[in-house]
Amino acid sequence: MKNRIKLIGVLKISILLLMISTMLSNTTVTIYAESNTPSTFTLPEIDAPLSEGIWIHNDNELELASSSGTGGSSDPYMIEDLVIDTDDLVAIRIEDTTKHFEIRNCTVKARWGIYLDNVTGGTAEIRNNTAHNCESDGIYLYRSNGTWIQDNILFNNWRGMEVRESYVVFINNNYVQSEDAGIFIYRSPYASLTDNEMHGDGININFNSLDDAVTIVESGSTVNDEPVLFLKNTDSFTTSIEYGQIILINCSSIDVTGQTLTNIDIGMTMYFCIDIEITDCIFGNGDTGIEVIFVDTLVVTDCDFINLSDGIYIVDGYDHLIFLNNFEDNTDGIYADGAGGLTIERNNFYNNSYGGVELEYCYWCNIYWNNFTDNGYDSGYQALDDENSPSFPNLWYENNSNTGNWWSDHISGNYSIYGSSGLFDLYPLSTPYYLIPEFSMDFWIIITSFILFAFIIPVFRKRK
């Protein structure tokens, strides 16, 4: 009888350990890379593709290179049906023209595929072309306002397309699969992006001012088969579905929860925002997890940042809390330039090649109760603090409790923070700070049920 009771007890304990190990295994983050080679596109077969690019410098050369058309708005010059595979810098380059033209049905491979520079506003269309395996951009647009870029296939390029200093550009219904940004918009107000399909990349926007940033329009585009969330001038929003990329411009009171933003250049971007909260998200396999530009009051909790150049990239802004996150196998876990009032607390920084945390020109920042483990194998330091003013000091410990951080390479005494600021963690921890994992409600229901089964029920049996 006693042996039977012992057997039941061992069985109960085994079931409990199995349930706990199952729940713990569910907290493991696995990120899979997405292939950059499309399987549905077939390049045209041609016996002798052109091995030299076409460079058009003016209207006369544009007329000579065209297959038809008169250069008018209703009868544009046509550059069409070309197959160019060249080691030249550019396959098709057109610059300093005033006539209307259309590039269509061409297949190009070069360092830059199709390149427009300083063409007169509203005169250019780039339609139904394929640019592939370009070392730089599939399509590059510079100082060429009012251009239409539509129905193109851009794959295995460094960037799908790049639009620089060009106003009112229409980017519609393109397929983009690239190594870096899918669609890169640089100081180009009033760009309109509609129904673009991107894989392994996304939209990257760069502006100097809020006035320019809020002119961008986006609708119907997807990244990795999930919709792009593009919000501007929005007050109060909470995510309720999965997105492929999130872009916020001049927004406030935004809650982002439960997103998996992986295999993309920049998972989430925010410009000129206030009061943003990001919880329980996964960022990985890209350039930047979260890009934070001129943002105040950001909270990031319970997120994973894995295999990125920068887990979180911050420029300026004030009053951020980064709490209970995991930064693993990145170049930098957190990089901040010019940020103030930044609190970095109770995070794990593991195996980040340059550093867990890098601060430059930051002020009044507090970094404590974090674990820094085996970071900096390329840089020689686990954390960096450069150009901090003594008038607005950063603290690498919690002043009230005299509690610092755990450093895997700490031997004894104060821990020196690398950089020109000359700061120290005065109270380094002797053991890693233990971060209690969060479990789902199902886990606690199972544990509660087991306790009832194992302990309370036998008590009632004894009373009987």
Query: What residues does each domain of the chain span?
Result: 50-223, 236-464
**Residue 454 pLDDT class (50, 70, 90 cuts):** low
From 120, 125, 127, select the one nearest 143 (Cα to Cα). Answer: 120
Q: How many CB atoms lie within 10 A of CB 219?
A: 11
Q: How far is CA 285 from the centre of its chain?
A: 9
Q: Which residue has the higher pLDDT, 13 or 195?
A: 195
- Cβ contacts of 125 within 8 Å, gap of 6 or more: 76, 101, 102, 103, 104, 147, 148, 150
pLDDT value of residue 207: 86
Scan for tokens 């820094």, then name that residue.
Answer: 372
Say what the pLDDT of residue 16 is.
43
CA atoms within 13 A on the CB side of 464: 5
Q: In this structure, are residues 23 and 441 in contact, taking their beta carbons and an 8 Å threshold?
A: no
Residue percentage of the chain with pLDDT more than 70: 83
- State the architecture of 50-223 in CATH terms: 3 Solenoid (2.160)
- What gap in Å lies between CA 249 and CA 217, rounded to an integer? 11
Q: Tell me: the pLDDT tens digits for 145-165?
A: 999 999 999 999 999 999 999
Prediction pTM value:
0.85
Mean pLDDT to the nearest integer, 29-42: 46
Query: pLDDT value at position 244?
Result: 97
